[in-house]
A and B are shown apart, each in its own frame.
Chain A
Amino acid sequence: MARNGVVASQRWRSDGDVSSQQQPPADSVVADEVHVLAVDDSLIDRKVIERLLRNSSYKVTVVDSGVRALQFLGLDGEEKKTSSIGAFDSLKIKVDLIITDYCMPEVTGYDLLKKIKGSSTLREIPVVIMSSENVVTRIDRCLEEGAEDFIVKPVKPSDVARLRGYMATSEPSVRVNKRKQRESCESCSSLSTASSTSSSISSSPSLSPSPPSSASPTPMSISEPSSPSPSPSPPMSQSVSAPCSPSLSEE
């Protein structure tokens, strides 16, 4: 079952053959294995994302809140340590990618993203945001804050296949707004967005189109960087009682 809470892991070299089916002991992360931290407050979505990620042979740690994610990453007040003996380093946790839900109580996916990108030790870790709501301003906001991608739920295997491309990245010199790039690609290709599984009333197109009835990935290679994204979207206020209902300013 998903391991919530703080897990202290240590690196060790594995000379043996590590089958991806077999779970290594809970307190170890094998070096060279890709480790993904998944954050979602929905029990169902945690179970699904964990299975999706494990199926891709990733080592997975799943936590149920932004707060726990910050604890795991050593960002809960420990971030002031700038020396190499920071909490994160001493725990020797290797995280290659963070995938997080947007709508979570207390610490949203966006808050988590900001903290990670604001941390000298962690800012290089690619962060991917997931949301059941396809809100353009929300997507842009996350991308501009440094998210690698924004996945509209439900998460598909093709979305997970795309994650591999975000890891082992060198710093991009120019931020590319993937939503805009994808949309301009869509208009010139014949990819159908009718394959969207959404049956909701709002009929905005799915952000991550996949070929109908196929789980193969649709790689979007960035051949040349487009111009830097325009000025950030206007600050939005989210109502305190329902932090993730898209407020009028967000639509």
Chain B
Amino acid sequence: MAPSSVKLQELIRLIRTAKTQAEERAIIQKECADIRSSFREEDPSFRCRNVAKLLYMHMLGYPAHFGQMECLKLIASPRFSDKRVGYLGAMLLLDERQDASLLITNSIKNDMNHNSQYVQGLALCTLGCMGSSEMCRDLATEVERLLKTSNSYIKKKAALSAVHVVRKVPELIELYIPAAESLLGGKNHGVLHSAVVLITEMCVRNPEATCKFKKVVPELVQIMKNLIMSGYSPEHNVGGISDPFLQVQMLCLMRILGQNDDEVSEAMNDILAQVATNTDTSKNAGNAILYETVLTIMDIRSESGLRVLAVNILGRFLLNSDKNIRYIAMTSLLKMVQTDHNAVQRHRGTIVDCLKDTDASVKRRALDLTFALINGHNIRSMIKELLQFLDHCPAELRSDCASGIFLAAEKYAPSKRWHIDTILRVLTTAGSYVRDETVPNLIQLITNTSELYAYTVHKLYQAVLADISQQPLVQVAAWCIGEYGEFLLSGTCEEEKTVKVTEDDMLDVLEMILQSHMSSPATRGYALTSLMKLSTRISDNVDRIRKIVSIYGSCIDVELQQRAIEYNTLFKKYDHMRVAVLERMPVIEKNSQVCSDKSTKVLNDENKPFSLSKPNQTEVKIQNAANQQTVDLLDLIGISDPSSTPVVQNNQEKMVGGELLDLLGGINFGAIPSITAYNKNGLTVEFFFEKVGNNELSIQLKAKNATAKDMKEFILQAAVPKNIQIHLQAPSGSVLPALCSGCVSQTILISNPNKVSLKMRLRLSYSIEGSTVQDICEVNNFPPQTWQ
């Protein structure tokens, strides 16, 4: 009882009548069940049709793996229709990962030697599309044999199978080199094309093959010449051009052979020039050839005339009405802007015009190219175009455009005022798209331009009055108003006509920023700090500031609350320090981020008279440290992410309470090796270390006098880098008896939470035999355990 089998086209029709997904699934499930039982019957008559139906259902997305073995049976069948569908099934359902794919190796091998070239073709095609490395290894020699057949139909398929073999098993390249060379001698375009593909693949994967194939360059040139010169060949003609596929493939091979080789490049010069000038550009096929020619010219060692020709072709492409051609012209120009900068510069006008192109990808590339072409001479006009572009550009390009403008402005700004203007313009146009580091960078730029403080703060003030939604702009503006508010009050500014601003106006703006729902927490932080700074720069409305600050002491935002409370404290308990603390910020070093800021300041510390640490000045030292800490606080707010300030706060607390902890801490000598900090003129000072807690170090110093006379009034002072706190306790005495008969000991407490490498400068003074000796030395040999 043979099951009646639905014809393929009937099934397709049936499936298409289904109105819902569920209906379709039902039809398919029923059909699959029928097919499965038919497979079980092992009936060969309908196998071909059933597998075909399975392949259709597979394309719709349904599982068809139970048909894999049936494909194998079809391939093994003697009937051509069976083989055709079987091999198709193998290519669609099997891939090299499945073990079943190995089972067809034998069939492929047999069919490669079949009488009918079409069966041979099926086998080669399947191997060339889905053959695994094992299959390729097994059949490599068969393929090589077929490469040498006289049948062009088989030769071209064998060549492309060889390409696949070479991709899967590159070691087999050697096997195909001799046969490949001879393939170029024929007339058949299919064979020629496949041969060129094979040679290209081998050269790409193996530089030795490249050397071997350089000798075919004359042959390639000849074939190209024949193609260009030959009359109309209807068989290979595309839009009036003779076999563009073959031409492009050969140009590609020439590119690989000519790379880094002057001699070979020289041999290609003429034909490349010919193709570049004679190819008809009215149809896409011609442009495809020109495109490939340009790529080849730029990649080999071509002479400069040819290179100029290539860039000009691209320049013409930019003006083409076809957007595809404009797109590839842009892409190519972008690739060569570094190597052939001047040639590309000549087309700058067209490129900048392409910023207005309708196509998004062309616009993007035009943007990249524009940035690559900016230099010191064209910066003004280029940035003008870019700012116009920024006004209308699509959202996905804004961020890149903004950062690009900043980078270019930094590199080539003709004047500081222009630079600041440009940045302001970007912030007002695309403020929400700029990167985070823009704000500190701009602030740093502003602090470095002291002559423009008035101008800058006025412009920012006006900008912020107009619009407080763009956070980076508002942050910079708030910071500037805080720092340079006095310029707003005085209304002086040579550059612009200015409006006199009252204290109330300024405070209004800052309050508005604080209260606006559009302001981010960081922005409000800036505004609050600026308000605080203004308390020392204005005269009448300090109370208003005090009030605002105390209100924010109960703000829900913890960061703002903390700041407000600190500032309140500054008003109440440390009012005498307020002016010093809120002084104008020092000029920020160029290219310094917070971390390197600290290191430069360490150097500065060493040059300045260092904050001395005398035993009876302990009180002042703590105070100084506190000062330093609050200055740090403001620094960090101005430059970096406010979230780092709590860390600094902790330091201060630890510093104050640290003493007690240190005294109560356990003594643990011997863990860290001691060092000799000073040894000169008979005076030696040794340091003994002991770690107390994670960040505290206790140094016990012992000073000894090896000279014959006593050293009296011995005083030791010490200074450390900025991030470390130091505290000297009272020494045991001030007399160093001669000949090491006694010593003076003193304890130094070091707090180093940032684990900065420990250095110390010592200043020693003593009197010996009536004369005073003073000396300064650096101690750099602290063992790493003292700070790590």
- Tell whether A pairs with B: no
Interface residues of B (CB under 8 A from A): none
